[in-house]
């Protein structure tokens, strides 16, 4: 390859890779490219630009140092305004410069806004995809502390924990109606699926007929 600047034929390895060109290499060799970069770095315009940037950083640093010195001098003469408070969780006495404070640490803050004290508390009940979940953190099969309500009702009736493979079915297809009369227990998902295939109504051509009694999962419940 021939360099455009020095006009000397050199091997391809002396030219750096560049995907913009069809050949896949720069038209200037590495030596010429490095010389041009050195001139740019030592030019006055780049030097002035770097100097201005350094002055800005230095000026800001001096400003903050002066401010810290003033604060320290003021606190030495007048002292800091410190108010005494009592933590609502651990009853510990602590000091703060704020006019209002309730908790002494982040752990106490977390405890102070959890459970009934939280404004979004709904008696430990949450709804997801039409199913009702109940807060039972000590349940062996709880997910993030929550368990499906219809499984808890069935466990209460049988007086034992349900296995993860066991499935509870709603007879009227209303997933929020968790009365024991409306629930059926299947040993596994296969038996539950076979039961659904028997219930499904079909026409002469084998097409599925929509059941008017079956409700959608998008149900809104007011607390």
Give the whole-angstrom CA distance, residue 92 versus residue 86.
6
Q: Which residue is it, tokens 């039972």?
A: 136
Q: What is the mean pLDDT of the chain?
A: 82
Q: Which of 12-26, 51-65, 149-163 has the lowest mean pLDDT?
A: 51-65
Alpha-helical regions (H) of 79-128: 106-112
Condensed to tens digits (0 to 9), the pLDDT of residues 90-140 reads: 999 988 877 788 899 888 988 888 888 888 888 889 898 889 999 998 999
182, HSE (Cβ side, Cα atoms, 13 Å): 13
Q: Is the dihedral of CA 60, 62, 65, 70 positive or negative?
A: negative
Sequence spans of domains, the chain: 12-41, 83-112, 122-199
Task: Answer for the pair 151, 163: CB distance below 8 angstroms, yes or no.
Answer: no
- Whether the model clears a pTM of 0.85, i.e. scores above it, the answer is no
- SS3 of residue 97 by DSSP: coil
The pLDDT assigned to 210 comes to 61
Q: Which residue is it, tokens 């297809």?
A: 173
- SS3 of residue 148 by DSSP: strand
For 202, which DSSP code?
B
The pLDDT assigned to 54 comes to 67
The token duo for 39 is 């001139």
183 strand-pairing partners = 170
The pLDDT assigned to 181 comes to 94
Condensed to tens digits (0 to 9), the pLDDT of residues 186-212 reads: 999 999 999 888 887 777 766 666 665
For 101, which DSSP code?
-
């Amino acid at each position: 390859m021939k360099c455009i600047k020095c006009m000397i034929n050199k091997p391809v390895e002396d030219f750096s890779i560049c995907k913009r060109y069809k050949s896949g290499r720069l038209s200037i060799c590495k030596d010429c490219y490095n010389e041009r970069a050195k001139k740019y770095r030592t030019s006055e315009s780049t030097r002035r630009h770097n100097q201005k940037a350094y002055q800005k950083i230095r000026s800001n640093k001096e400003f903050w140092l002066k401010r810290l010195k003033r604060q320290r001098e003021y606190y030495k003469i007048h002292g800091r305004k410190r108010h005494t408070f009592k933590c609502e969780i651990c009853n510990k006495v602590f000091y703060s410069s704020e006019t209002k404070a309730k908790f002494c640490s982040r752990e106490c803050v977390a405890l102070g806004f959890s459970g009934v004290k939280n404004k979004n508390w709904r008696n430990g009940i949450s709804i997801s995809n039409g199913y009702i979940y109940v807060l039972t953190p000590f349940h062996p099969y709880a997910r993030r502390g929550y368990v499906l309500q219809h499984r808890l009702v069935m466990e209460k009736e049988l007086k034992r924990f349900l296995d993860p493979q066991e499935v509870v079915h709603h007879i009227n297809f209303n997933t929020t109606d968790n009365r024991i009369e409306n629930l059926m227990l299947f040993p596994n998902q296969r038996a539950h699926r076979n039961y659904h295939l028997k219930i499904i109504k079909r026409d002469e051509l084998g097409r599925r007929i929509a059941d008017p009694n079956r409700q959608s999962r998008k149900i809104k419940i007011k607390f």
